[in-house]
Amino acid sequence: MLQAHKIKPVVQEEVTGCGIASVANIVGKTYAEMKQIANAMGVFADDKSL
C-alpha cells in the first residue's frame, strides 16, 4: 500500500514567479530558497525577457 505524503503548497510571490514556484514545489523547497538559487543562476522573476 502506498503511503500518502503531504505536500506543502508553494505560493508564487511575484507576478512573474510561476517558474520559480513550480520548481520549488517539485523539489520541495520554499519560494525564497528557490528564488535564491534561480538568482544565482542568473534567472530573475522580474526579467521582462522571460
Residue from 42, 43, 40, 22 nearest 31 by CA? 22
Q: Considering the chain, what is the average pLDDT of its residues?
A: 89
Q: pLDDT of 22-33, one tens digit each?
A: 999 999 999 999
Q: pTM for the complete prediction? A: 0.79
Rounded Cα gap, residues 30 and 25, in angstroms: 7
Q: pLDDT of 1-50, one tens digit each?
A: 666 677 788 999 999 999 999 999 999 999 999 999 999 999 999 888 87
Rounded Cα gap, residues 6 and 10, in angstroms: 13
